[in-house]
């Protein structure tokens, strides 16, 4: 059974509707709120006008109201309306047509692609159709202004597939900007400068005897009941050498990743790395405090490096091998500094210097949750079984660590250093 519904007053109209064999209603809504920029309307409307419930058209294109039309009819629509579309969006639609092996195209797949929805149809179009497409790459495009060149550079730095890069390049507007990484970095620098002036020390600031004194941000095992310290410790650093490495990696890696994947996803990986870092210290190095944003930084950098390795042939960033070694050397030196400092005679005995275990917690989050997020650009994570496996593992670890912090310290009879 099919019906035609006309709605006005929303910037467009519902011009076709029907119920398919699967019992799912299919509707075409030509509306600026739904289907994005106006240059895509002709294709949507071109199809949906053919799907009006008039016998001659309906029986010709979708006589069973199944929500599918033949690949031939889809190619006809692309040839007719292709010149009116943005070339990068046309590439995505061509990839969808190439990906089909059954001779028919699902109407909802087209709407998902046009509506920038994170769906499996987007992934299928990229993985299957793009293999047979020989289109001009973004690198071959000329007459780009400085902003367009920057967006193109970010696309090649972070995304392994050409059609992903084109999709990002065509849809990125800069609104909202990568505010999360920039805000965190500004706060870290401001707080470090404040304590540097207060203690009159910037290099190896953590060795000052008053570093932990009445500090409301540092994680300390005696103050573990103050839950905010499991996150707030990122705003304190061991010294300018510690802060410098973390800030550089946050800006050089975190900001481009946030531009591509959004503040919500990158922020989640960062915060998960921070939380995993402090909880890992409370389990594995129970008497030590924690400072620095290395848990979050190592999470996003590890995820990015792992994504590069797993998509080595598709990543076209310049000097990728050299830059990867440089990043690993910086991370290794920073980790080595943290290990040395942990076992260096403490300036506030009996409390040891801050632990290095938070770095390892961040790496584990990066190569699990982080990789899944970076490998699923513009796709729904809830449709990925591996996402739920890693997410469940993370929350199980958090629950375990909470119980550990409540019961293990007293059961082990561990002597903790006095609170600062």
Which residues are the active-site residues?
Answer: 294, 359
The DSSP output letter for 142 is: -
Instruction: Name the one residue in this structure whose structure tokens are 């042939």.
Output: 313
Whole-number Cα distances in Å, 290 to 212, 281, 295, 368, 411: 11, 7, 10, 23, 23
List beta partners, residue 3.
17
For residues 181 and 250, the answer to whether their CB atoms sit within 8 Å is yes
Work out whether strand 25-30 and strand 68-70 pair parallel, antiparallel, or are unpaired. unpaired
Closest CA to 187 of 237, 139, 153, 137: 237
- Judge contact between 243 and 188, C-beta under 8 A: yes
Using alpha carbons, select from 407, 376, 105 the residue that is nearest to residue 282. Answer: 407
Beta strands in 371-413 (DSSP E): none
Contacting residues for 414 by C-beta, under 8 A, at least 6 apart: 286, 287
Other Cβ atoms less than 10 A from the Cβ of 211: the count is 23
Judge whether 273 and 296 are in contact, CB under 8 Å: yes
DSSP string, 266-280: HHHHHHHHHHHHHHH
Report helix, strand or coil for 19: strand
Contact 12, 31 (CB under 8 A): yes
CA 72, CA 95: separation in Å to the nearest integer?
Answer: 14
């Amino acid at each position: 059974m099919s019906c035609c519904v006309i709605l006005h007053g929303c910037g467009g109209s519902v011009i076709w509707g029907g119920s398919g064999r699967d019992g799912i209603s299919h509707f075409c809504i030509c509306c600026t709120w739904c289907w994005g920029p106006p240059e895509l309307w002709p294709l949507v409307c071109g199809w949906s006008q053919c799907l009006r419930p008039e016998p001659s058209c309906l029986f010709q294109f979708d006589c069973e109201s199944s929500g599918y039309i033949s690949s031939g009819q889809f190619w006809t629509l692309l040839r007719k309306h292709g010149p009116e579309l943005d070339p990068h969006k046309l590439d995505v639609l061509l990839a969808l047509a190439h990906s089909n092996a059954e001779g028919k195209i699902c109407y909802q797949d087209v709407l998902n692609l046009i509506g920038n929805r994170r769906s499996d149809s987007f992934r299928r179009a990229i993985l299957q159709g793009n293999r047979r497409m020989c289109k001009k790459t973004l690198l071959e495009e000329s007459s780009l202004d400085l902003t367009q060149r920057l967006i193109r550079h970010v696309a090649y730095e972070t995304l392994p597939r050409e059609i992903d890069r084109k999709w990002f390049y065509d849809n990125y507007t800069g609104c909202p900007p990568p505010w999360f990484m920039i805000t965190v970095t500004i706060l870290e620098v401001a707080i470090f400068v404040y304590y540097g002036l207060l203690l009159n020390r910037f290099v190896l600031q953590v060795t000052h005897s008053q570093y932990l004194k009445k500090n409301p941000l540092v994680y300390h095992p005696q103050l573990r009941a103050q839950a905010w310290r499991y996150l707030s410790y990122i705003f304190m650093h061991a010294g300018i050498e510690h802060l410098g490495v973390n800030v550089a990696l946050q800006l050089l890696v975190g900001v481009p990743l946030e531009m591509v994947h959004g503040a919500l996803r990158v922020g989640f990986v960062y915060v998960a790395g921070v939380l995993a870092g402090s909880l890992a210290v409370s389990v594995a190095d129970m008497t030590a405090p924690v400072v620095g944003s290395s848990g979050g930084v190592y999470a996003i950098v590890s995820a990015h490096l792992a994504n590069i390795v797993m998509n080595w042939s598709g990543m076209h960033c310049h000097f990728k091998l050299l830059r990867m070694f440089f990043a690993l050397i910086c991370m290794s030196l920073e980790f080595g500094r943290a290990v040395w400092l942990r076992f260096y005679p403490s300036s506030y005995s009996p409390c040891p210097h801050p632990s290095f275990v938070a770095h390892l917690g961040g790496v584990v989050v990066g190569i699990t949750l982080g990789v899944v997020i970076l490998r699923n650009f513009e796709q729904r994570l809830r449709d990925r079984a591996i996402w739920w496996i890693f997410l469940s593992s993370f929350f199980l670890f958090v629950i375990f660590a909470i119980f550990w912090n409540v019961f293990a310290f007293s059961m082990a009879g561990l002597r903790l250093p006095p609170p600062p």
